[in-house]
């Protein structure tokens, strides 16, 4: 194998860690596991990222592409939002890992930040009125509930259901919340 540069090693560690944290969660993934998957030495993991927790937080980022949602007609927003959530593989892994690791204060903070930016923010941008903030937060709770049921609980019937049907039904629930009463 070609000798790796420091940057390449760092990238391999990051990539292996991102995968393992998503699959097994924070507490069940050890620094040794990451090193083995990246085929490097455990000491390098710490040298490059400082600590296991810093590495974890570094892998738990979501870059949501908001563009497709900007042009959606207001009446279709609920469905399109649910559709996007189910289509994005990264959301599943990141949310699962953050939720399960959230008894660590720093991880809970990150979960709050991502919940706010990824769910509450886009929903509130679609709302008006004096109680827009509260309604956006309730809608974000509904959104989180779908991810919770599918990926945290792992409701087999929902996982096996036709995604298109979930989009239609669950999108309608969301739509009710963002449509002015």
Q: What is the dihedral of CA 171, 177, 178, 181, to 10 degrees?
A: 130
- CA atoms of 70 and 21, how far apart (whole Å): 32
**Min. distance of Cβ 164 from DNA in angstroms?**
40
On the CB side of 61, CA atoms within 13 Å amount to 8
Residues that bind DNA (CB under 7 A): 4-10, 29-33, 40-44, 46-48, 51-53
* 163 token code pair: 């995604």
Residue 5 vs 157, nearer CB to DNA: 5
* Residues 48-107 close enough to bind its own copies by CB under 8 A: 99-103
Work out what residue 53 binds among DNA, its own copies, none; the CB cut-off runs from 5 to 8 Å by kind.
DNA
* Contact letters for its own copies, residues 17-36 (x by CB under 8 A): -------xx-xx--------
Nearer to its own copies, 63 or 157 (CB): 157
| φ, ψ at 141 (rounded to 5°) | -65, -40
Centroid of chain to Cα 107: 12
Q: Candidates 9-17, 35-43, 50-58, 172-180 — which segment interacts with its own copies by CB under 8 A?
A: 172-180
Residue 146, class by beta-carbon neighbours within 10 Å (0-12 exposed, 13-18 middle, 19+ buried)? middle
- Contact partner, 106, from its own copies, DNA, none, Cβ < 5-8 Å per class: none
Closest CA to 22 of 104, 95, 93: 93
Based on CB atoms, which residue is closest to its own copies, 15 or 102?
A: 102
68 binds, among DNA, its own copies, none (CB under 5 to 8 A by kind): none
Nearer to DNA among residue 107 and residue 166 (C-beta): 107
CA 156, CA 168: separation in Å to the nearest integer?
A: 19
Would you give the end-to-end CA distance of the chain in angstroms? 63
Residues lying near its own copies in the complex (CB under 8 A):
24-25, 27-28, 99-103, 108, 111-112, 115, 120, 133-135, 137-138, 140-146, 148-150, 152-155, 157-158, 161, 165-166, 169-170, 172-173, 176-177
């Amino acid at each position: 194998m070609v000798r790796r540069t420091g940057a390449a090693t760092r990238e391999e560690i990051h990539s292996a860690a991102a995968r393992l944290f998503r699959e097994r969660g924070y507490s069940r993934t050890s620094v040794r596991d990451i090193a083995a998957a990246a085929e490097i030495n455990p000491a390098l993991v710490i040298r490059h990222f400082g600590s296991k927790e810093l590495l974890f937080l570094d892998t738990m980022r979501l870059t949501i592409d908001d563009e497709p949602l900007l042009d959606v007609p207001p009446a279709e927003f609920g469905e399109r939002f649910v559709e996007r959530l189910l289509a994005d593989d990264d959301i599943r892994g990141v949310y699962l890992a953050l939720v399960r690791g959230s008894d660590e204060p720093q991880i809970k903070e990150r979960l709050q930040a991502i919940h706010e930016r990824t769910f509450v923010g886009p929903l509130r941008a679609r709302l008006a009125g004096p109680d827009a903030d509260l309604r956006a937060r309730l809608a974000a709770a509904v959104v989180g509930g779908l991810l919770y049921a599918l990926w945290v609980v792992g409701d087999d019937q929902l996982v096996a259901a036709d995604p298109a049907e979930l989009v239609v039904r669950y999108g309608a629930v969301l739509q009710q919340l963002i449509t002015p009463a």
